Every structure is written in C-alpha cells, then in structure tokens.
Amino acid sequence: MSRNGRTDDAPAKRRRHPPRWAPARERPTLRPTRARLLALRVLERVTRGGAYADLALSSALARSGLAPEDRALATELLYGTLRWR
C-alpha cells in the first residue's frame, strides 16, 4: 500500500473536468442586446438630462418595436439600476 492508502497496482482515478471557460477563440462575441441598449440610453437621459424615468422609458419602448420579454428586461434593468443609485 502506498502513502495515500491505495494499493500500488490500482490506478488512481482522476476526474477530468471540462474547462470552465472556452478558449478565447471559441468564445462568442458578447454584444449588448437591444433591450440593454435601450435601458442604457434611457438611463443616460434620466441621469444626465434630468428626464423622468417613466416618461422616457414609455417613449423609448413605444418606438422600439421590442418583444414583450425584451420590454420587460429593459424596464427591469432601468428601474433596478435607478433603485440601487
């Protein structure tokens, strides 16, 4: 028996885990979604321009043509960010 309690003739089983991150050449290019860009633009209007968040967001969403789930994401991102300010 060896020091670690295994017999010398028993091969040590090693777990092989896949890498947590793909190599850089295989990673997709990360681009912000339209919902995230909309939330950022409205946030800039609110923080720099003094716009009211609800009015600026309503206006931007009306012009955006986003799907309902993307509209919900933009809304949550904007209001969540303003909440944490």
The span from the CA of 24 to the CA of 17, in Å, is: 18
What angle is formed at CA 78 by the lines to CA 76 and CA 82, rounded to 5 degrees? Answer: 115
Residue 16 lies in a domain: no
Residue 57 lies in a domain: yes
Residue scoring higher pLDDT (83 or 30): 83
Residue reference for tokens 């295989």:
26
Residue 46 lies in a domain: yes
Q: Is the pTM of this model over 0.75?
A: no
Q: How many domains does the chain have?
A: 1
Tens of pLDDT, residue by residue over 45-80, are 999 999 999 999 999 999 999 999 999 999 999 999
Residue 11 lies in a domain: no
Range of the domain at 61: 34-84
Residue 25 lies in a domain: no
